Structure 1
Amino acid sequence: MFSLSVNDHVMIAHSLPDEFFGPAQALHGATLAVEATFTSDQLDEHSVVLDIGQALQMLDDALAPLQYANLDEHPDFAGRFSTSEAIAEHIGTSLSVSLADRPDIGISVHLRENPRAAVSYTVVNRP
């Protein structure tokens, strides 16, 4: 199995309005470190999983609508909590759409909320 990982970060604002989330119920900002990993059983005709520049651009495109956004007002999070897990899923889904013509490439998103906590999401059902 081969893999290619690229990373960036996204700055968001959101609240998690439920007692379950303690102090995170209030509106707050977060800077999330994001790593996207693309996997394949075999390399393509150029001996790569995916072009690094293309992978970076896809991650940039996936993060752009979230950058400096208040996720409480973001239509893609209407009716659901914008937890780190949900944000990772959102990014993974966006990357999946960008790679709709390459179903052979696996996608996972690793999102670090702080130095002690991270979540991951692996795209299972590709469009």
Structure 2
Amino acid sequence: MMQQFYPTVSHNYQFELNKDMHFSAAHFIPSEDAGKCKVMHGHTYHLNITIGGNQLDSIGFLIDFKLLKELIHKKYDHSVLNDHPEFANKFPTTELLAQQVWQSIQTMLQATINRPNCLQVIVRETPTSYVVYRPRQEDLL
């Protein structure tokens, strides 16, 4: 995987974890306004996830890296994003994909003992285009 340098998010947590991953998926945006993207096509999406917290779990993790990969990669890899229930009434744009990835991760994190927060999700759709999703402060618990 090519190393990328991404924008950082400002925070006051003692620990910051970043996880890069990628998956391949297809999607289409069923709108005339989407131009060529209205036809099904695929991407190799590259993600960077930033998690912050002050407390580690019993073995010294903010969160185990493999749990993040299992949660996201297993869900989206080699799938059609339009077929996922979270996109039932929405177009699976890169922006909304980033938001959905954040929601999945944040929900998992809040079920842990140490309750870290997902501070940022970056989804790169092509080598030259990416989206940054940062939750509002009130969305963090």
TM-score range, shorter chain: 0.7 to 0.9
Equivalent positions of 1:82-121 (< 5 A) are 82-100=92-110, 101=112, 102-121=114-133
Amino acid at match of 1:93: Q
- Give distance in 2, aligned partners of 1:57 and 1:106: 13
Q: Count how many residue pairs are aligned between Structure 1 and Structure 2.
A: 123
What is the CA–CA distance in structure 2 between the aligned matches of 1:113 and 1:56, rounded to whole Å? 22
Aligned to 2:87: 77
For the aligned residue pairs, the C-alpha RMSD in angstroms reads 2.3
Q: Kindly state the Cα deviation for residue 55 of structure 1 after the two structures are TM-superposed.
A: 2.9
Once the two structures are aligned, what percentage of the paired residues are identical?
Answer: 24
TM-score, with structure 1 as normaliser: 0.82
User: Which of 30, 54, 77 is the matching residue for 2:43?
Assistant: 30
Contact 1:39-1:49 at 8 Å conserved across structures: no
Contact 1:108 1:123 in 2 (8 A): yes
- String of CA shifts for 1:56-76, please: whole Å, max 9, x gaps: 322331231111111222211
**Per-residue Cα deviation, 1:41-87 (whole angstroms, up to 9, x for no partner):** x46488x7714xx1332233123111111122221110101000111
- TM-score with structure 2 length normalisation? 0.75
Match of 1:39 in 2: 52
In 1: Cα distance, 2:88 partner to 2:104 partner: 17
Query: Which amino acid letter does the alignment assign opposite residue 52 of structure 2?
Result: T
Kept in 1: contact 2:102–2:121 (CA 8 A): yes
Which residue matches 1:4?
A: 17
Q: CA deviation at 1:104?
A: 4.6
